[in-house]
Every structure is written in C-alpha cells, then in structure tokens.
C-alpha cells in the first residue's frame, strides 16, 4: 500500500506536509484543525528573543531603585526569562501536545547569543517533540564582519543542541555568501534538520503616499526554485534531514522537493491563500503521483534527482542562462 509517511529530524510523520511557523500555528484550536486537515507535524509560531528581552528589560526597569531588590536578581532575570510570554508559550506547547497526536515542533527566533538559550530546556520540559531555531537578524550595520555573525549563529546552535535531548533543527535565510559551507557548519553542530529557507517581512512603498506601506507577506509559487536548488545541492552531501520552506503552493512542487532530497515540506502562504482544504489536495496529489510511479513509500524516491544522484549534477550549479535560452529571449 502506498504510504505518505516520512521521517524528519528523528520524528515520524504521517505526511511530509508540515504547517510552517506562522499565525496559523499559534492557537490550540488552529493546531487541532491543521491536524484534521492532514498535516504531518506543526511548527508553532516562533517565540521571539527580542520580545523576551524587551519584557525582561521592562521588569528590570520596574525593579530598579526598590530597596528590597538585590543586584543578583538582575543576573537571575538574565538567566531565566520566566515572564508572561514564556509562560504562555510553554502553555501552548503543553495544550497542543494534549490536543493532537502529531509532533509539535516549537520555534525560537534567535538573533544573538544570549544567556537565555536555556529557554530551550523549558521548551523540552513542556513536552515539545523538537525545536526549530529560526535564525536571523538583518545585519544592516556595517560594523560586524560576516564571519563573526556567522560564527555567532553556529555557536548559538551548538550551545542549544548541547542543552536538550529533543531534536534541534535550524531554519535559515538564503543571505549567506557561502551557503554550502554554512549548511555544513550547521550540520556539524549536531542538529537533526535544516529548513531552507525562511521568508521575511519585507517593507513595500506606497507610491501615492510616498511612504513605507505594508509588506510583501505571502510567497508565490515561483519562489520555490531557491529551496529546490539548495536542497538538491545539499541533501546528498550533508548528513541532516532537510525540510523545504518558501513557495510550496501545489502538489507538484512538493513532489519536486522530495525528489530533490527533502524529507518534508512546510506550508504557510498557500494555507493563508487557499484555506485548510489545500492540505488534503496536496496529500492526494503526492499519493496519486506515487501510485502512478509505483512507489510504495517516500523513501523510494526521496533524493532521486539531487546533485549526488542525478546524471546531470552540473545543472543544479548553473547560474547563467546559456545558448538554449537564446531563442527564448528573441521571441
Ligand atoms: C504571517 C506570517 C507569519 C510568520 N511567522 C513566522 C514565525 O513566527 N517564525 C518563523 O520561523 N517563520 C514565520 N513565517 C515564515 C513561514 O514559516 C515560512 O517560512 C514562509 O512564509 C515561507 O513559506 P511559504 O512560502 O509557505 O509561506 C511567517 C510567515 C507568515 C506569512
């Protein structure tokens, strides 16, 4: 019998479709609906380092100058961010775990190597099945050299991996000069999975008001080419699982990413655009495609067209349009 089950980052998933970290995954009600709709796992909306630090700062400010507060209290605050945000997040993990059978992956947005990485342990205690580290701040200042910033991310990930027993994965951006090397460095920390790639808030301009307006929030289907290339280039070389994120809008893209070597694909924009029914549509597409090709399991074809396995690996490395596109331009 044809089966959609897959293994990702040490987790057994009934489907390779994962609900990506977003506003869709921040309530127990939504999580229950996503499970019913057919996703194989959930990544909770990220808890943001900046928000926690802001909250700790507010607590510190409120305490400063009070006669009964010892200076050590501030050290304690630095070590243990146990304020409202954290408590709410841990409650979401516990309640989600109680409400659904599929794996719950918690997510922390990390921008710096702060002491509070101990939060990972609290997340583990709350029962999360895995932890996704959403790594990125926009280094818009020119002060820190690239190598320093990259080293900081790798150190942070290594530190978290040491602190917990649950699988840790990283979700990264595509803004690295030597992407292949970064993927290898992250893999060397002991993580179990890499999510390629995150998509960020990107400001837009209103030309009538001549001011900054909203943002390009949702992806489009052509955005999938970036994770497709990098999963194909990396999946046969690096010993971690890969999950695709960005631009998965239909079953065909999901199949392509599995052929490129992904163990799972994450969905956000397509669910925002088309609602929960799209999950069933994608699951059916993958299943029917597998039946047509006589594959019994995802493992039978996963990575079949990646850099290592294809007869024409150089195509994955090519960046320039060459002779065969000449007629396309002339049309
Ligand atoms: C409204 C919205 C909120 C998001 N919030 C988070 C978040 O908290 N943490 C995170 O890692 N990614 C977040 N993302 C990024 C998604 O998880 C996903 O990586 C990105 O949207 C690309 O996938 P897609 O093309 O399926 O939308 C968010 C995306 C959207 C659209």
Res 84: pLDDT: 84
User: Rounded to whole angstroms, how far apart are CA atoms 48 and 328?
Assistant: 45
List the structure tokens of 299.
């493992």
List the structure tokens of 191.
């993580």
Res 311: pLDDT: 82
User: Rounded to whole angstroms, how far apart are CA atoms 78 and 114?
Assistant: 9
pLDDT tens for residues 30-48? 999 999 999 999 999 999 8
Ligand 1: distance of its center to the CA of 16 in Å?
17
Write the residue with the smallest CA distance to atom 22 of ligand 1.
Answer: 246
Ligand 1 pocket residue status of 256, Cβ below 6 Å = no
Alpha helices in 126-178 (DSSP H): 146-163
10 contacts 18 by C-beta, under 8 angstroms: no
Res 210: pLDDT: 94
pLDDT tens for residues 290-311? 999 999 999 999 999 998 888 8
What DSSP designation does 241 have? E
Our measurement of the distance from residue 297's CA atom to the centroid of its chain's CA atoms, rounded to an integer in Å, reads: 24
Q: What single string gives the DSSP state of each residue in 54-119? A: HHHHHHHHHHTT-TT--THHHHHHHH---SHHHHHHHHHHHHHHHH-SS-EEEEEEE-S--GGGGH
Ligand 1 pocket residue status of 246, Cβ below 6 Å = yes
| Full residue range of the structural domain in which residue 88 is found | 6-330
Stretches in the chain below the pLDDT threshold 70: 49-83, 112-116, 137-139, 141, 321-331
Res 123: pLDDT: 95
List the structure tokens of 285.
């597409």
- Asked, for residue 1, whether it belongs to a domain, the answer is no
Report residue 264: phi and psi, to 5°. -155, 160
Residue 217 sits in a domain of what CATH number? 3.20.20.70
- Asked, for residue 299, whether it belongs to a domain, the answer is yes
Ligand 1: distance of its center to the CA of 198 in Å?
7
Domain count, the chain: 1
- Asked, for residue 317, whether it belongs to a domain, the answer is yes
Res 312: pLDDT: 83
Ligand 1: distance of its center to the CA of 22 in Å?
5
Ligand 1 pocket residue status of 245, Cβ below 6 Å = yes
Predicted TM-score (pTM) of the model is: 0.89
Ligand 1 pocket residue status of 247, Cβ below 6 Å = yes
CA-CA-CA-CA torsion sign (95, 98, 102, 108): positive
């Amino acid at each position: 019998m044809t089966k959609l089950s897959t293994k990702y980052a040490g987790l057994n998933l009934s489907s390779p479709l994962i609900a990506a970290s977003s506003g869709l995954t921040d309530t127990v009600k939504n999580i229950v609906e996503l499970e019913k709709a057919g996703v194989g796992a959930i990544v909770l909306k990220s808890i943001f380092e900046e928000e926690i630090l802001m909250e700790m700062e507010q607590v510190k400010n409120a305490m400063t100058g009070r006669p009964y507060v010892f200076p050590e209290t501030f050290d304690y605050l630095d070590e243990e961010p146990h304020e409202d945000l954290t408590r709410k997040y841990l409650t979401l993990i516990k309640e989600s775990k109680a409400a659904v059978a599929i794996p719950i992956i918690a997510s922390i947005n990390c921008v710096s190597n702060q002491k509070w990485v101990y939060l990972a342990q609290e997340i583990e205690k709350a029962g999360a099945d895995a932890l996704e580290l959403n790594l990125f701040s926009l280094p818009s200042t020119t002060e820190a050299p690239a190598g320093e910033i990259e080293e900081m991310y790798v150190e942070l990930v290594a530190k978290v991996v040491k602190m917990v027993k649950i699988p840790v994965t990283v979700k990264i951006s595509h803004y690295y000069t030597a992407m292949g090397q970064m993927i290898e460095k992250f893999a060397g920390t002991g993580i179990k999975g890499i999510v390629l790639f995150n998509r960020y808030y990107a400001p837009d301009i209103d030309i009538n008001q001549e001011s900054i307006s909203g943002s390009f929030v949702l992806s489009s289907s052509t955005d999938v080419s970036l994770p497709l290339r990098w999963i194909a280039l990396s999946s046969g070389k690096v010993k971690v699982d890969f999950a695709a994120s960005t631009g998965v809008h239909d079953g065909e893209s999901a199949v392509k990413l599995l052929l490129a070597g992904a163990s799972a694909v994450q969905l956000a924009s397509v669910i925002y655009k088309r609602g929960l029914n799209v999950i069933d549509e994608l699951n059916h597409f993958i299943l029917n495609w597998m039946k047509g090709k006589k594959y019994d399991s995802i493992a039978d074809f996963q990575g079949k067209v990646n850099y290592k396995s294809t007869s024409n690996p150089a195509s994955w490395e090519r960046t320039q349009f060459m002779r065969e596109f000449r007629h396309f331009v002339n049309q």
